[in-house]
Structure 1
Amino acid sequence: MIRRWNPPSVAAPAGQYSHLAAVPAGHELVFVSGQLGLLPDGALAGPDAESQTRQALANIRELLAAAGGGPEHIVKFLSLIAGVENLAGSRAARSEVFAEWYPDGEFPAHSLMVVTQLAAPQFAVEIEAVAAIPTDR
């Protein structure tokens, strides 16, 4: 089982993440490329960060399923948000999805960066993940 924790010797996390995550033996690391809010047909899920975040996380869930895992195997996220105006929408969607994925509040490590722009101006969010999937599946 992936171990996630927050030592008392540093300030508590400022959001939905754990300071540390450790991968036990018997797991394969799977790196998920940055996912955009694109539907399976390639159309944008919506013009806003909330719908794009929700879809990017759904894409990550689908990719992990294809690799034999799920959200519970995620060790680390990296979120790239295009502009501070997109933070609130992205956080709202992430909170909604994380409530389903991590009901115990044991969140993966997570870094978030606000950038000027992503690969194209219509993209508000890009999220990548690292997962540790048991090899005995």
Structure 2
Amino acid sequence: MIRRWNPGTLAPPIGQYSHLASVPAGHELVMISGQVGMLPDGTLAGAGAQAQTRQALANIELLLDSLGAGPQHLVKLFTLVAGAEHVEGCRTARAETFARWYPGGDWPAHSLAVVTALAAPELTVEIEGMAALPPR
């Protein structure tokens, strides 16, 4: 089982993440390329960060499912947001998804960066991840 924790020697996290996460011996690390808010048919889930974040996280969940895994196997997420004006929508969608994925608040390590732009001008959010899978 992935261990996530926050040492008492520094301030608690300022958001939905754990300061530390470790992977048990024998687990396979799988890198998840940056996911954007694209629906399975290749169209964008919406113009705003909330819809795009919700879909990017749904895409990550689908990728995990294809591995026989789930959100509990995520070790780390890294979110890129194209402009500070999209941070609130991103956080709102993440909070909704994390409430379902992690009802006990055992969140993976996570970083969020605000950038000037992503690969295409219509994209507001991109999320990549790392998952640890038990031996199969």
Fold similarity call, TM over 0.5: yes
Q: Give the distance between the partners of 1:128 and 1:106, measured in 2 at CA.
A: 19
Matches within 5 A, 1:1-137: 1-136=1-136
Report the number of matched residues: 136
User: Deviation per CA, 1:8-53, whole angstroms, max 9, x where unpaired?
Assistant: 0011000000000000012110100000000001000000000000
- SS at the partner of 1:89? helix
CA RMSD of aligned residues (A): 0.6
What amino acid sits opposite 2:122 in the alignment? Answer: Q
- SS at the partner of 2:104? coil
User: Deviation per CA, 1:61-89, whole angstroms, max 9, x where unpaired?
Assistant: 00011112110000000000000000000
Structure 2 segments unaligned to the other structure (5+ residues): none
Runs of 4+ aligned structure 1 residues displaced above 3 Å come to none
**Percentage of identical aligned residues:** 64
Q: Give the distance between the partners of 2:53 and 2:65, measured in 1 at CA.
A: 18
| TM, length-normalised to structure 1 | 0.98
Structure 1 segments unaligned to the other structure (5+ residues): none
